[in-house]
Amino acid sequence: MQQLPPSQWTELADLIGQCMDYDSAFRPSCRSIIRQLNSLITSDYVILHAAEPVTQSPMSIAVNPAPYDHTLFEERHLCYISPLGKGNFGCVELCRYDPLGDNTGELVAVKKLQPNKGPNLEDFQKEVKTLSVLHCDYIVKYRGVCYSMGRLSMSLVMEYLPYGSLNGYVWTNRHNITTRRMLLFASQICKGMEYLQTLRYIHRDLAARNVLVANDSLVKIADFGLTKVLPFDKEYYRLSQPGQSPLFW
Ligand code: AMP
């Protein structure tokens, strides 16, 4: 039997796949299909495949590079809900991406570069690029970018992890969190770090505040603002220039 080639447009291919589920309970409703199609085809929603191979840039992945997509979120559909926190050079906000304007859109976390942090634009762009090529269950998922002020400003759009940072979560649940659960989280963080290591990435800022909690049994590594890639001919990272670093030795 012959098969059609899979669609290059992965979001569309996913949606088609969902609609073909044999079990009707798992097929999306009409409303959900329309919403998903709408968000795929709204005027300036495009998927740009970077023309240059990822291996040509300094922040590229050296091993098994994943294609690096920039899914564009339209600013006008990104509805602010509340602040989530502040990091090295950006503030993170909870927003709903709601192209239909009926509150059915998905919740996302949006990291914006703070206006007074101008010189760090390049680092921020590196963070966006780094996250966009990481695909691991234990690393926060990149969703895309959003441009504002006619492309002068860019935000990073990520999946929203409702329980926030691990340090806050552990403190809030300090009376009922079990050792077993802590070990589960620790093993997930190790798996995420192992994945980064296979791609020669060095996170450089791993801390409970930079680990996010998805639910009671899943945590993910976040904040790749200080991440560096280790060149092939090096076995360890040596700090060579002044700048932001949590490590001084
Ligand atoms: P960061 O700049 O990545 O360190 O983020 C600053 C703070 O924002 C974190 O400590 C979290 O509390 C919050 N935050 C960042 N990303 C997310 C996310 N994807 N979902 C929920 N909260 C987040």
15: CATH: 3.30.200.20
211, with CB counted inside 10 A (0-12, 13-18, 19+), is buried
Q: Are residues 218 and 119 in the same domain?
A: no
Q: Considering the domain boundaries, does residue 180 fall inside one? A: yes
Does 56 score more than 50 pLDDT? no
Q: Considering the domain boundaries, does residue 4 fall inside one? A: no
pLDDT score at 49? 34
Q: Which of 5-14, 94-103, 159-168 has the lowest mean pLDDT?
A: 5-14
The reply to whether ligand 1 has any atom less than 6 angstroms from the CB of 140 is: yes
The reply to whether ligand 1 has any atom less than 6 angstroms from the CB of 109 is: yes
pLDDT score at 61? 29
In the chain, helix, strand, coil percent, each to 5?
A: 30, 25, 45
- Cα(124) to ligand 1 centroid in Å equals 14
Highest mean pLDDT among 26-35, 51-60, 131-140, 195-204: 131-140
- Cα(107) to ligand 1 centroid in Å equals 14
Any idea what the Cα angle at residue 14 is, between residues 8 and 19, rounded to 5°?
A: 130
The model's confidence at residue 48, banded by pLDDT at 50, 70 and 90, is very low
Domain range for 109: 10-159
Highest mean pLDDT among 46-50, 158-162, 223-227: 158-162
Q: Are residues 175 and 138 in the same domain?
A: no
Could you report the per-residue pLDDT of 139-184, keeping only the tens digit for each?
A: 999 999 998 876 678 899 999 999 999 999 999 999 999 999 999 9
Single-letter amino acid, residue 2: Q
Single-letter amino acid, residue 108: V
Q: Are residues 80 and 105 in the same domain?
A: yes
Q: Are residues 137 and 225 in the same domain?
A: no
Q: Considering the domain boundaries, does residue 107 fall inside one? A: yes
Closest CA to 36 of 114, 96, 99: 99
Residue 14 appears among annotated catalytic residues: no
195: CATH: 1.10.510.10
On average, the pLDDT of the chain sits at: 80
Ligand 1, from 84, 142, 227: best to mutate by most atoms within 8 Å of Cβ?
84
Backbone angles phi, psi at 169, to 5 degrees: -65, -45
The three-state secondary structure class of 240 is coil
Does 43 score more than 60 pLDDT? no
In the chain, how many domains are there?
A: 2
Closest CA to 223 of 205, 248, 240, 208: 205
Where is pLDDT greater, at 229 or 77? 77
User: Over pLDDT 90: what percentage of the chain?
Assistant: 49
Mean pLDDT along residues 26-39: 78
Q: Are residues 53 and 172 in the same domain?
A: no
Mean pLDDT along residues 78-93: 89
For residues 179 and 187, the answer to whether their CB atoms sit within 8 Å is no
Q: Are residues 36 and 86 in the same domain?
A: yes
The reply to whether ligand 1 has any atom less than 6 angstroms from the CB of 142 is: no
Contacts 24+ apart (CB under 8 A), 187-195: 188/137, 188/138, 188/218, 188/219, 188/220, 189/138, 189/219, 189/221, 191/136, 191/137, 191/138, 192/136, 192/138, 192/139, 192/220, 192/221, 193/221, 195/134, 195/136, 195/138, 195/139
pLDDT score at 243? 62
pLDDT score at 53? 25
Q: Which of 2-6, 23-27, 81-85 has the lowest mean pLDDT?
A: 2-6
Which residues partner with 139 through β-bridges?
221
